């Protein structure tokens, strides 16, 4: 079995992948600040022959996790942001400073779709752009839904947006604090994504396919007008592309990859942008 780990600021996600069949056997998540102890919530390391890790948590969390794993597992691969990989050129002046989850998302998106806009809706919402030739432009970082809500300190932090809510309901003015906050932050997130996408496509003269991932991807997806696909395993896809282990991975296949969405025309994007400036 291969153990893939995606350690974010909020949740540490894991999945077990069969090295022979390339099938995903199980998955789970634990809070990042918690210690990784054998128990019901984490996979049995005895069956694991290789681990691949993406981590943006504090260095100490990664060091501890890697230390624990190296004692039990033969191959431990830790992803790093580099100046170039798999045809993508990192847009950061200091490439190593780009969050590795963003880098892996950009690599997966490029491998799947060529140029892309990769949006990761987690503790932060990150919006990264890769041009069709592989140049990563850099990106945008906005606080995620949960962080925005907590920063208001209005006592509404424990009432999350119902992930089943329809976008239409969330776009109405709230008539009590919790709704005013939830609808406000939802509007902030989706309008930032819509606007940033249009601005950058306009600047670069290219309509890019958009891919969404992260814990809030599904609910945010409903408010994003740009054609896009949700790919919950996008960061894992970057790990597969960067450290291919199975036959399918060596052939360039990433588990759970969606159909590439057809972007609308650049003319339409520009018309939308011009319209929003007039208002
Ligand atoms: N069951 C859940 N537990 C915690 N957060 C959740 C859950 N479902 C959705 N979320 C949302 O997902 C976000 C975490 O998403 P994730 O992509 O795992 O973030 P990160 O990679 O930063 O840890 C939270 O901030 C929260 O808004
Ligand atoms: C921006 C992030 C905090 C997002 O992390 P996440 O929300 O997925 O936990 C992470 O990618 C990070 O720590 N990046 C380093 C700074 C940068 O990318 O510029
Ligand atoms: K994120």
pLDDT tens for each residue of 49-76: 999 999 999 999 899 999 999 999 999 9
Is residue 37 scored above 80 in pLDDT? no
Name the least confident of 35-49, 103-117, 216-230: 35-49
pLDDT for res 10: 92
> Quick check: CB of 146 below 6 Å from ligand 1?
yes
User: Is position 100 annotated in a ligand binding site?
Assistant: yes
> Quick check: CB of 123 below 6 Å from ligand 2?
yes
Ligand 1 centre from 118 Cα, in Å?
17
3-state SS class at 243: coil
Ligand 3 centre from 120 Cα, in Å?
4
Q: What is the DSSP letter of 45?
A: G
pLDDT for res 138: 98
- Virtual torsion, Cα 185, 11, 212, 190, nearest 10 deg: 0
ipTM surpassing 0.90? yes
Atom of ligand 1 nearest to the CA of 10: 23
Could you tell me which of 29, 50, 24, 53 has the C-alpha nearest to residue 40?
29
The answer to whether the Cα torsion of 111, 242, 235, 195 is positive or negative is negative
Q: Retrieve residue 207's tokens.
A: 């309509």
The ligand placed nearest to the CA atom of residue 216 is: 1
User: Is position 213 annotated in a ligand binding site?
Assistant: no
Atom of ligand 2 nearest to the CA of 124: 7
pLDDT for res 158: 84
Ligand 2 centre from 99 Cα, in Å?
5
pLDDT band at 40 (very low <50, low <70, confident <90, very high): low
The CA-CA-CA angle for residues 140, 143, 145, to 5°, reads: 125
Is residue 118 scored above 60 in pLDDT? yes
User: Is position 53 annotated in a ligand binding site?
Assistant: no
**Residues with catalytic function:** 101
Is residue 103 scored above 60 in pLDDT? yes
> Quick check: CB of 141 below 6 Å from ligand 2?
yes
pTM: 0.96
Write down all domains in the chain, each with its CATH number in brackets: 2-78 (3.30.420.40), 84-278 (3.30.420.40)
Cβ–Cβ under 8 Å, residues 78 and 62: yes
């Amino acid at each position: 079995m291969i153990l893939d780990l995606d350690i974010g600021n909020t949740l540490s996600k894991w999945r077990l992948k069969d090295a022979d069949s390339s099938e995903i056997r199980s998955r789970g998540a634990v809070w990042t600040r918690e210690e990784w102890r054998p128990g019901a919530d984490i996979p049995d390391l005895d069956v694991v022959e290789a681990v691949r890790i993406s981590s943006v948590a504090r260095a100490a969390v990664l060091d501890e996790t890697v230390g624990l794993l190296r004692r039990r597992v033969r191959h431990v691969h830790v992803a790093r942001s580099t100046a170039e990989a798999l045809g993508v050129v990192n847009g950061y002046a200091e490439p190593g400073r780009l969050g590795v989850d963003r880098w892996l998302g950009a690599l997966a998106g490029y491998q799947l779709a060529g140029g892309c806009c990769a949006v990761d809706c987690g503790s932060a919402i990150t919006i990264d752009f890769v041009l069709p030739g592989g140049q990563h432009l850099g990106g945008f970082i906005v606080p995620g839904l949960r962080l925005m809500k907590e920063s208001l300190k209005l006592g509404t932090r424990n009432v999350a947006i119902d992930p089943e809510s329809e976008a239409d309901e969330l776009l109405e003015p709230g008539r009590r604090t919790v709704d005013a906050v939830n609808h406000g932050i939802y509007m902030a997130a989706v309008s930032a994504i819509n606007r940033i996408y249009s601005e950058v496509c306009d600047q670069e003269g290219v309509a890019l396919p958009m891919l969404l991932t992260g814990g809030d991807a599904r609910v945010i997806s409903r408010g994003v007008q740009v054609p896009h696909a949700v790919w919950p395993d996008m960061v894992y896809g970057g790990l597969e592309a960067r450290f291919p282990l199975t036959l399918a991975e060596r052939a360039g296949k990433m588990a759970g990859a969606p159909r590439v969405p057809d972007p609308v025309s650049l003319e339409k994007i520009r018309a939308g942008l011009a319209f929003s400036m007039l208002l």
